[in-house]
Amino acid sequence: MIIPSIRVYGSCCRAEISSYQSRIDSFNEEESFRACLHFLRSRGYQTAVQATLDQLSQTKPNFNFESEFESRLYHSLLSRDFVKSEEIILSNLDSFGTGRTYKAEWKKVKNQKPTDQSTWPCERSGHQMVAFDNCFYLFGGWTGHSDLNDFWQFDAEQNKWNMLSSNTQQDNGPSPRSCFKMVIDRQLGTTNTLEYTRLNNWLREYLLVGAICRQTTASGAS
């Protein structure tokens, strides 16, 4: 029988531990004060709020309930001066971007179009795409002459298109369409498309894992 060993790394210096614990206790205490002050102010107990702030200014001179921006915005909203509130927000827009480290960047997917059109979606507009498990799913669209109802999967890891269905209507799926809506349920692994005609309003669901298309709802003439 193998008994696993557990090792704990850290400092045993009481002074160092006490310093960290003191900072944690101070932070939790100040957050508790802020929560209480926000609650009292939201209930209209302004006298209690001011009395608490006066007491804190003596016992905790470095305590900051809220920033000047937050105070000005709160009082302008409280007085329902929405024009002034908008001016306060617009004048502080630069501060909202402080500390951003990320940067959006476009990268071209290098995938040469093959000579065999059956392995690649044709040109289209008005289609819909959703992403699920490192794959993109493309359905429908308009060629300029007719609507489409082919269903494609693009595998981002293999950098490859796969046709799931050349005609979803034959697979008990949606009819040809463009300029529609399609959504993804990431927990169930399903896509949903809204199929609207003069006589029917159907919601079609496609199980990405089981590769099954089914009608989930139907209504009468509209």
Tell me the pLDDT tens digit for each residue of 157-168: 888 899 988 998
| Residue 125, domain member (yes or no) | yes
pLDDT band per the 50, 70, 90 thresholds, residue 6: low
Residues 81 and 145 in one domain: no
Record the pTM. 0.47
Residues 139 and 189 in one domain: yes
- For 133, the domain range is 121-217
pLDDT band per the 50, 70, 90 thresholds, residue 126: very high
pLDDT digits (tens, 9 = 90+) for 78-100: 889 999 999 988 888 777 665 56
Whether the CB-CB separation of 111 and 158 falls below 8 Å is answered with no
Residues 126 and 85 in one domain: no
Name the CA dihedral angle for 60, 63, 68, 74, rounded to a multiple of 10 degrees: -100
Q: Which residues on neighbouring strands pair with residue 183, listed in sequence order?
A: 192
